[in-house]
Amino acid sequence: MLNEKTVGAIVKDAARKFPETEAYIYPEHGIRKTYQEFDKETDELAKAFIGMGIQKGEHVAIWSDNKREWLLSQFATGKMGAVLITVNTNYQEKELEYLLQQSDATTLILCESYKGTSYIDILKAVCKEIEIAEKGKIQSDKLPHFKRVIVMSENDYRGIYTWSELIAHAEGVSDEVLNNALESLSNDEVINIQYTSGTTGFPKGVMLTHKNVVNNGQLVGDYIHLSDRDRLCIPVPFFHCFGCVMGTIASVTHGTTMVIVEQFDAGKVLQMVQDEKCTALHGVPTMFIAELNHPDFIKFDLSSLRTGIMAGSICPIEVMKKVMEDMGASEITIAYGQTESSPVITQSKTDDSIEKRVSTVGQAHPGVEVKIIDPVTGEDTPAGVPGELCTRGYLVMKGYYKNEEATNSTIDSNGWLHTGDIAVMDEDGYIDITGRIKDMVIRGGENIYPKEVEEFLYQHPSIQDVQVVGVPDPKFGEELMAWVILKTGEHLTSEQLKEYCKGKISFHKIPKYVEFTDTYPMTASGKIQKFLLREMSKERVEV
């Protein structure tokens, strides 16, 4: 049964059912609010948006780390019907300009700075007219729809509303006006547009409806048995589906307390899990690796941890085992999906066998269809044979904003979303993701899936993290290069690593090249940018 409620309605629902349960906590700022208070706060902010003149369906961009204002804005727009456009925290001038133009955003909500980068300065470079504009009356040649900017602070900038100036707009808006706005919303309407990372070409705006995100959050939470007794630590960024669907919406649909980390830091996460007695923790593999390898890891009491989700990129089996054993999250699950599918397609269950939970991404969610097809012929592949994973159901996006061509090349005429991921499904419907179609390496006619080689190398006692990519080779077409991060204090040579592989994996899967590094190129949501690693690898080989 699908949840028919809108993003705004689920807050009202939680406030009725769990009025005194803590809705969210910002331990760094000593802020704690119950679901009743959260409902009132988001009502007031929704009224402020209406009072400011923001209409239902208008596009409101938000650019910040996981601040309280971000959280409130997500559910306030969900109550009055503005479409929230999430902006990557790593964006610079050209990327912000592209997003504001392409999305037709009328409004931008932003924090002042992020990791030493002034967002105000970047915005002024994109829209010089702010310097001479009255607040709310920006007129820009480059951004014809753009009218207003709101900063998440009380510092006064020319042409920009402070947060309290925004809130003051709520005064003239009645409860009746807000209730009418909330009741006018349909769950088939777009409420969120998220821009894909743009690893190929320009980022595309994924249009997600209330139905998409509310049901996905509901199911994700169901799978890890969230309730009003749980406390979920959310260190993943809100601008990504992991944060604002699998984190916030999953929590609100279950009356769960959100313990929010503004910016990921392994030590902070461990401290919050201990101090707030978190029962659940989300993260991408690189986050869990950083937590497990924190120098003070063994000093933290993580005994409250029960569950959580590891997702966002392929999850190494060894890391999964350590999270279950060393962190005590015995019921942790793996989820797989992409922004275009709201995001989760498949998820392991807390009572799946250990083998299934560490070596697969589980089975399709209820009501979700999945098939594996031959990428060349389009025919379904038999169990055990790799192919492209496709999905169909409530979770498929409405499309890419103002990009019909890309939409039609991603969603076929029968409603199947083509993910571009290579997967294998077993007889029981459990799925193993073996990589992206474009990540597959073909060496001398042999198909090699980098994930398989990475899983093997993770077992080496000196290796903390490893990524494998293909590089051009005149004889075999492609060869493998492994990028290795060693554990602190460990030493390893490329010859020793190759020797370790001999007799254990096929000769053609042993990396020809090995590079040792301290970091990988990453997206702001913690995903490793393999396309950049491939470029770096090509340069190394050519040298």
* Cα 519 to chain centroid, rounded: 20
**Cα–Cα dist 227/219, whole Å:** 13
- Token reading at 406: 């890309």
Which among 146, 154, 238 is positioned nearest to 192, based on CA atoms? Answer: 238
pLDDT tens per residue across all 543 residues of the chain:
899 999 999 999 999 999 999 999 999 999 999 999 999 999 999 999 999 999 999 999 999 999 999 999 999 999 999 999 999 998 889 889 999 999 999 999 999 999 999 999 999 999 999 999 999 999 999 999 999 999 999 999 999 999 999 999 999 999 999 999 999 999 999 999 999 865 446 789 999 999 999 999 999 999 999 999 999 999 999 999 999 999 999 999 999 999 999 999 999 999 999 999 999 999 988 899 999 999 999 999 999 999 999 998 778 888 999 999 999 999 999 999 999 999 999 999 999 998 898 889 999 999 999 999 998 789 999 999 999 999 999 999 999 999 999 999 999 999 999 999 999 999 999 999 988 887 888 787 777 888 889 989 999 999 999 999 999 988 888 999 999 999 999 999 999 999 999 988 888 899 999 999 999 998 887 888 888 999 999 999 875
**Cα–Cα dist 337/433, whole Å:** 10
**Cα–Cα dist 115/522, whole Å:** 15
Distances (CA, A) of 460 to 264, 463, 513: 27, 6, 17
Distances (CA, A) of 68 to 99, 129, 269, 314, 414: 23, 29, 17, 30, 41
**Cα–Cα dist 339/226, whole Å:** 22
* Cα 157 to chain centroid, rounded: 31
Query: Any idea what the Cα angle at residue 481 is, between residues 476 and 483, rounded to 5°?
Result: 175
Residues of the chain with CATH 3.30.300.30: 440-542
Q: Where are the beta strands (DSSP E) in 284-416?
A: 307-310, 333-337, 344-347, 363-364, 369-373, 387-392, 399-400
CATH superfamily label, 440-542? ANL, C-terminal domain (3.30.300.30)
Provide the β-strand partners of residue 26: 31
**Cα–Cα dist 232/281, whole Å:** 6
Distances (CA, A) of 447 to 53, 387, 444, 450, 522: 56, 12, 9, 10, 26
**pLDDT given for residue 30 in this prediction:** 98
Length of the chain: 543
Q: For residue 116, with 0-12 CB atoms within 10 Å meaning exposed, 13-18 middle and 19 or more buried, which class applies?
A: exposed
Which among 324, 333, 389 is positioned nearest to 361, based on CA atoms? Answer: 333
Residue type, 150: I
- Token reading at 27: 């331990």
Concatenated DSSP letters of 211-241: HHHHHHHHHHHHHTT--TT-EEEE-S-TTSH
**Cα–Cα dist 173/175, whole Å:** 7
Cβ atoms of residues 339 and 206 within 8 Å: yes
Distances (CA, A) of 541 to 228, 446, 533: 54, 21, 12
Give the right CATH number for 34-206 from 3.40.50.12780, 3.40.1170.60, 3.40.50.300, 3.40.720.10.
3.40.50.12780
Residue type, 155: N
- Token reading at 301: 């009491």
Q: For residue 542, with 0-12 CB atoms within 10 Å meaning exposed, 13-18 middle and 19 or more buried, which class applies?
A: exposed
Contacts (Cβ under 8 Å, ≥6 apart) of 242 = 236, 282, 284, 309, 311, 312, 343, 525
- Eight-state DSSP code of residue 354: H
**Cα–Cα dist 278/258, whole Å:** 9
- Eight-state DSSP code of residue 459: T
**Cα–Cα dist 502/509, whole Å:** 10
Cβ atoms of residues 349 and 223 within 8 Å: yes
Burial profile 356-376: b = 16 or more Cβ within 10 angstroms, e = fewer? bbbbbbbbbbeebebbbbeee
Instruction: Give the chain's radius of gyration (CA, Å).
Output: 23
Which among 152, 170, 7 is positioned nearest to 68, based on CA atoms? Answer: 152
**Cα–Cα dist 256/230, whole Å:** 5
**pLDDT given for residue 390 in this prediction:** 98
pTM for the predicted model, two decimal places: 0.87
**pLDDT given for residue 41 in this prediction:** 98
Residues of the chain with CATH 3.40.50.12780: 34-206
Residue type, 233: C
**Cα–Cα dist 353/430, whole Å:** 12
